[in-house]
Amino acid sequence: MNTQFDIPAPYVLGPALVLFALHTTVRRRRRAPGWQGGPLAVRALTALYCAAVAWLTFFPLWVYTGAYRNQMPWTNQLNPIPLLTADATMLPNVIMFIPLGFLLPLLTRCTGPRQAATLAALASLLVEGTQFAQYLAFGSGRAVDVNDLIANTLGGLLGHTALHLSLRITPLRNLLERCALPGSRLRHQQRHETTAPDAPDVADAADAADRSGRSAAAPPQRRVR
């Protein structure tokens, strides 16, 4: 059978966002940890960001069957050679993943640029793999380009760097720490800083030990009558 039709993004992303909103409402009414105030706002922003990325990378989803299906071999959809066709078109991929790198320490235990780059690369692989699966299943889809993977990973690193620069500004740091999810790196770091006891001064401790030793070694004085 020869058919061709497209699935618009709102038909898929709309119900997904509605389900997220219902789930959020239930968790908020039950006063679940991490579903109030700042953390709830971060969850909502993350959901909207994921929906925007899906809109840009997967939709509109064209479905072709029969004679309408792309007859080119699937190997033509792959570009495994890095930077061979690199140009200014990589810039949107960099920009698209900057919010991900910024959000990672607010959502996860991501502790450094290496982990941020790894998670960004895995997310990019998920996007590229889904696009390739769309081509195999529906006969349409975008090319799988290793340059997209490089650009997305770079965007994640830039976003992670932007977060660390923001943490140097005290008002922004306080705001981000309040918005971080329970169990995230920022929340864990904030808890550690607020509960860690003050370290004793080394010089004062040495002086106290020295005075204690002298008092213990000094002979008792006789009372003169």
Q: Tens digits of per-residue pLDDT, 140-151?
A: 767 788 899 999
- Distance separating the N- and C-terminal Cα atoms of the chain: 123
For residue 83, is it left (φ>0), alpha (ψ between -120 and 50) or beta? left
pLDDT the model gives residue 216: 52
Decide if pLDDT at 224 tops 70.
no
* Domains of the chain, residue spans: 3-196
User: Residue 192: is its pLDDT beyond 60?
Assistant: yes
Express each pLDDT in 85-141 by its tens digit.
Answer: 667 778 999 999 999 999 999 999 887 899 999 999 999 999 999 988 888 888 776
- Lowest mean pLDDT of 78-82, 112-116, 155-159, 171-175, name the range: 78-82
Residue 44 CB-density burial (10 A; 0-12 exposed, 13-18 middle, 19+ buried): middle
- Each residue's pLDDT tens digit, 44-70: 999 999 999 999 999 988 888 776 676
pLDDT at 215: 54
Q: Is 61 helix (H, G, I), strand (E, B) or coil?
A: strand
pTM over the 0.85 mark:
no
Q: What is the pLDDT of residue 117?
A: 94
